[in-house]
Structures are given as structure tokens and as C-alpha cells.
Amino acid sequence: MDKTQILKVLAVLVATHLSSVIVSSYLIRILTKRAFPEEIYKKIVVTSKIFIYIVGFFVLVYVMGVDLGSVVVGLGAASIAISFASSNRIQNLFSGILFLVELSIRVGDKIKINGQEGRVVRIGIRTTTMETEEGDTILIPNSMFMTKPLLRRRRRQQEKEGKQVVEQ
């Protein structure tokens, strides 16, 4: 490797790291303003960092003169195999992200979905946790919110009707 190639590699590494830092801080600022749960926005930030570093890896490989065609074909085949193996998880993940962006329900809302009724206690990327009146905990895959009818009662509606709402 000559000096110019070393400088190019260093420039790509620095640019990748700076991009990761800038995008992460921007996402944190936006997601905290929208009142996303901390665990959710942390996962979104980590996912964006991974994506940026993957792009940086491809740029680095290109700068070093390696043929990207074989690398892309190999990664494409691997990603197809992984997507078939985990299609339900991927569906729940994307449904969860759409669900969180839309913010259709919030922690504390009383919901009824697929014959189950209870209060939302946690909203995650793949599942939402609901607690029934009897104290049972039900994990609902977020993809279900995209395919099944949902009855939702906001906390404010419950308070207007004189029902006690317990904050956690």
C-alpha cells in the first residue's frame, strides 16, 4: 500500500465514524422529542450505526481495490437465506417500526385485539406487552396490529369515564 492509499483508507474510516456520530445524535434528538421509549430509540440508533458502518466497509473495500461484485453476490445470497429463516421476526420488526412511527397506541392505553383485552404496559420493536384485569401478561406480536382490528381507549378517555388509571 502506498501513502495515498493509506490516506484514502484513513479518510474513509474517519468519514464513516463522523457520519455515524452525526446521524446518531440527530436521531436521538428527533426521537426523544417524539417521546419514543428509550429502549426503542436506542435500537433504532444502533441499527443506523450498523448500516453506516456497512456502507463504510463497502467504500473501504472499493478504495482498497477489491472487486465488489463477488462481495455483493456473497452477501446477497447470505441475506436471502437469513431473510427466509427469520421472515416472521422481520415482519414483526418492520411492523413494530411502522407501529412506533404511527404511535397508534401508548403505554397506559386500554386495548382489545384478537379477543384479548388489557392495558398496554410496554411497547417494544417486535412485541407489545399487555396486562389483563386479572394480572396476566400477554405478549402481542406487533405484526398483529397491522392485520387485526384494534379497539383502543386512551388514558384520557378512561379518566373522563371515572376509571382510575395507574401510571407506571
CATH of the domain at 143: 2.30.30.60
Percent of the chain with pLDDT over 70: 81
Residues 74 and 137 placed together within one structural domain of the fold: no
Cβ-contact 129, 141 below 8 angstroms? no
Residues 13 and 72 placed together within one structural domain of the fold: yes
Within a domain: 127: yes
Q: What is the pLDDT of residue 64?
A: 86
Domain carrying residue 76: 3-85
Residues 79 and 116 placed together within one structural domain of the fold: no
Residues 26 and 60 placed together within one structural domain of the fold: yes
Domain boundary among 22, 51, 85: 85
pLDDT at residue 89 tops 50:
yes
pLDDT category at 20 given cuts 50, 70, 90 is very high
Within a domain: 167: no
Mean pLDDT score across all residues of the chain: 81
The lowest-confidence range among 4-13, 20-29, 62-71, 87-96 is 87-96
What average pLDDT does range 58-71 have in this prediction?
Answer: 83
Residues 64 and 115 placed together within one structural domain of the fold: no
pLDDT category at 147 given cuts 50, 70, 90 is confident
Within a domain: 168: no
